[in-house]
Amino acid sequence: MTASCQPDPLSNPMEREVIITRVLNAPRELVFQAWTDPVHMARWWGPKDWTNPVCELDVRVGGAWRIVMRAPDGGDYPCAGVYREIVPPERLVFTNDAFDQAGTPLLQGLTTVTFEELGGKTQLTVKARAVGLVPYAPMMLKGMEAGWSQSLDRLTGYIASHDTSFK
Domains, the chain, ordered by start: 2-160 (3.30.530.20)
Is the pLDDT at 153 greater than 90? The verdict is yes
Banded model confidence at residue 12, pLDDT cuts 50, 70, 90: confident
Sequence-separated (6 or more) residues with CB below 8 Å from residue 7: 16, 17
User: What is the percentage of the chain residues whose pLDDT exceeds 90?
Assistant: 87
pTM: 0.90
Of 5-14, 112-121, 128-137, least confident by mean pLDDT is 5-14
DSSP string computed for 45-110: -SSTT-EEEEEEE--STT-EEEEEEE-TTS-EEEEEEEEEEEETTTEEEEE-EEE-TT--EEEEEE
Is the pLDDT at 21 greater than 80? The verdict is yes
Query: What angle is formed at CA 46 by the lines to CA 43 and CA 52, rounded to 5 degrees?
Result: 50
Is the pLDDT at 116 greater than 70? The verdict is yes
Is the pLDDT at 5 greater than 80? The verdict is no
Banded model confidence at residue 162, pLDDT cuts 50, 70, 90: confident
Banded model confidence at residue 8, pLDDT cuts 50, 70, 90: very low
pLDDT number for residue 164:
61
